[in-house]
Chains A and B, each alone.
Chain A
Amino acid sequence: MKFAMLFFGALLVTLPAASRDWPYSQRPSAALPLSDIPGTLESEVLRKAGKKFIPPELDELPDNAWGKLVRDGRAIFIDTPARAPRFAGNGLSCSSCHLGEGRTPGAAPLWGAWSMYPTYRGKNDDVNTFQMRLQDCFRFSLDGMMPPLQSREIQALTAYSQWLARGTPAGTPVPGRGFVPVKREIEPSGDRGRVVYGMKCAVCHGTDGQGVRSADGTRYQFPPVWGDDSFNRGAGMYTVRTAAAYIKGNMPLGRGMSLDDQEAYDVALYLRLKDRPIDPRRGWFSDFSRVFAGY
């Protein structure tokens, strides 16, 4: 009796160990090498030392319906007013903020975002899918209409994001996602922001903040940062700390991290004080009351 119980006890211990032997030989990540791809694309260090994540190149896309959808998504992403005219509201494209066609680390890259959704967002106090997040971008940052979830635009942008994110671990914050961290306890000053803007930003974005149009005048070379063609008051960039994080990590273009936190906050407040489209969640009266309240 004793020996039988001991025997079954030992069996219980050894069984899980035996079930760990699986007849698999190929590691899945071997199908998608994550390192040592020569190219001009931005790379970002993954959590494991020595491993880099590089978003795939456009030439790797197959020539089928899926590849076409991803290419459509990229076209919408970099030229939103022309490629998604029924939903875009202002002169911005997705890539006006998501630099490098959504690849640049620290500029909310798509490869860092896609696998994090569905996730909780404080903005609407609910769990949002990636498609709902895209809808919010159209509604606030692009000051336009929300594309329906089953629309071609949403599908194309989703496919483009998933393609960029191939190989990143799902549901895990990858280094480089979102914006760079900034300090919280900083008192911004719009006056100092005006000075910094004039010195470092006005070359591209103009003293009037209207950006620079391309030679044929159809689209923006440098996006407008305030005014009718810019993001509205519901956008995340309208929040001073968010805008400061973006500015610190990416601006002036090509010289990110050259401003300190104080300067970034100052410029962000300077932009916030300028005129721009109203928050679509609020009515006209609440927007006027904002003026009367003095901020």
Chain B
Amino acid sequence: MNGWRALILILLASPSAALTPVDAPLPGNLVEVPVAAPGEVFVPPALVDIPEDKQGDLVKQGRLIFIDTVNHARRYAGNQLACASCHLSEGRKPNAAPMWAAWGRYPRMGDKPDVIQTFESKVQDCFHFSLNGQSPPLDSPEMLALVAYAQWLASDAPTGADMPGQGLGAPEALAGAVDTHVALAGSASRGETLYRAQCLTCHGPDGQGVARRGGGHQFPPLWGKASYSAGSALARPAPLAAYLQANMPLGRGSSLTAQQAADLAAYLLIQPRPADPRLGLLQRWRATR
């Protein structure tokens, strides 16, 4: 009997007992980002740090839109994805295009020459292509909320500086070697084998993902009507391979080789998905023939 009491006391006093679900921080708050000298890390602020004022309300609204776009930005979202479907951990995870690294780096050069991307226009592009919906106007409440959320996540991050973990950096890019993922020639058949082995559990045999009851998806659809359109960045092989290698399977990023990521990307990109919204009907018809 005394032995049981001692065991209970040990369990209560040990640090692991402090990690009960009540005290544990929310999952999105745990991402740490190395910035500086060894031991120094950038930690995006925790949810409990959102101030209780009008700006805090806007930040909370922005977070809701970010993680549940289908329900909270209904008039602009087109498919079943949320922002957080790709920007993992509510926009905090390094190498999944985190918001804390993106916010301070805009306005900057876009992909095309002579085009300057502001943060707002980038958000509009996300809605237009990745969410296959409508671009929210610059002064819409959805846009204001998303900008406020991104700026809040970037609290204390250096403005305009390149931070490790920004964008879709592949592990090679993190070491400072190359900035862009080398696009290897992928084989769709090898990719299918790999998909069945590693991805099918969450994303399903038809790439349909796992839906939530209230709308949106627990695991996002990878192709088909409910997925991102052919005009989005992840519909190009090189960024998609970089994203897959850095982040997938969920929780085991960097476990795929570059060749495996390229194979997977090739398999995903031969699947049907919504057409590029910039194309007209005639062009779409021609493209499918």
A residues with a Cβ closer than 8 A to B are 2, 5-6, 8-10, 12-13, 16, 19-20, 22-29, 31-32, 64-66, 69, 114-115, 117-120, 125-127, 129, 131-132, 149-150, 155, 158-159, 162-163, 165-172
Measured CB to CB, the nearest residue on chain A to B94 is A22
Q: How far is the CB of A158 from chain B (nearest CB, A)?
A: 6
Tell me which residues across on chain B come within 8 A of A131, comparing CB atoms. Answer: 120, 138
B19, A28: Cβ atoms closer than 8 Å: no
Q: How far is the CB of A36 from chain B (nearest CB, A)?
A: 17
A28, B151: Cβ atoms closer than 8 Å: no
A171, B35: Cβ atoms closer than 8 Å: no
Tell me which residues across on chain B come within 8 A of A25, comparing CB atoms. Answer: 175-176
For window 117-154 of chain B, which residues contact chain A by CB distance below 8 Å? 118, 120, 138-139, 144, 147-148, 151-152, 154
Q: How far is the CA of A280 from the CA of B89 in the complex (A)?
A: 45
Which of A13, A20, A27, A120 has a CB less than 8 Å from the CB of B36?
A27
Measured CB to CB, the nearest residue on chain A to B137 is A149
Q: How far is the CB of B248 from chain A (nearest CB, A)?
A: 18
Measured CB to CB, the nearest residue on chain B to A64 is B109
Q: Is B111 an interface residue (CB 8 A)?
A: no
Q: Is B178 an interface residue (CB 8 A)?
A: no
Tell me which residues across on chain A come within 8 A of B103, comparing CB atoms. Answer: 170
Given A64-B113, A155-B107, A162-B104, 4 additional A-B pairs, CB 8 A: A27-B37, A28-B158, A162-B107, A171-B156
Q: How far is the CB of A199 from chain B (nearest CB, A)?
A: 41
A129, B144: Cβ atoms closer than 8 Å: yes
B34, A22: Cβ atoms closer than 8 Å: yes
Q: How far is the CB of B215 from chain A (nearest CB, A)?
A: 27
Q: How far is the CA of A127 from the CA of B54 in the complex (A)?
A: 7
Tell me which residues across on chain B come within 8 A of A125, comparing CB atoms. Answer: 54
B155, A119: Cβ atoms closer than 8 Å: no
Please, could you name 21 A-B residue pairs with CB atoms under 8 Å apart, sorted by A?
A22-B164, A23-B171, A24-B165, A27-B36, A28-B161, A65-B115, A66-B108, A66-B109, A69-B107, A114-B159, A118-B144, A118-B147, A119-B55, A120-B53, A162-B104, A167-B158, A167-B159, A169-B156, A169-B157, A169-B158, A170-B155
Q: How far is the CB of B152 from chain A (nearest CB, A)?
A: 7
A29, B161: Cβ atoms closer than 8 Å: yes
Tell me which residues across on chain A come within 8 A of B17, comparing CB atoms. Answer: 9
Which of A9, A23, A66, A165 has a CB less than 8 Å from the CB of B116?
A66
Q: Which of B8-16, B68-76, B197-205, B239-247 contacts A (4 or more CB under 8 A)?
A: B8-16
Measured CB to CB, the nearest residue on chain B to A21 is B34
Q: How far is the CB of B117 from chain A (nearest CB, A)?
A: 9
Tell me which residues across on chain A come within 8 A of B161, comparing CB atoms. Answer: 28-29, 31-32, 166-167
Measured CB to CB, the nearest residue on chain B to A62 is B109
B55, A118: Cβ atoms closer than 8 Å: yes
Residues 158-180 of chain B, each 1 if its beta carbon lies under 8 Å from chain A, else 0: 11111111000001001110000
Which of B15, B108, B162 has a CB less than 8 Å from the CB of A28?
B162
B164, A26: Cβ atoms closer than 8 Å: yes
A162, B106: Cβ atoms closer than 8 Å: yes
Tell me which residues across on chain A come within 8 A of B160, comparing CB atoms. Answer: 32, 162-163, 165-167
Q: How far is the CB of A287 from chain B (nearest CB, A)?
A: 28
Known contacts: A118-B148, A162-B106. The answer to whether A65 contacts B113 by CB under 8 A is yes
Tell me which residues across on chain B come within 8 A of A126, comparing CB atoms. Answer: 54
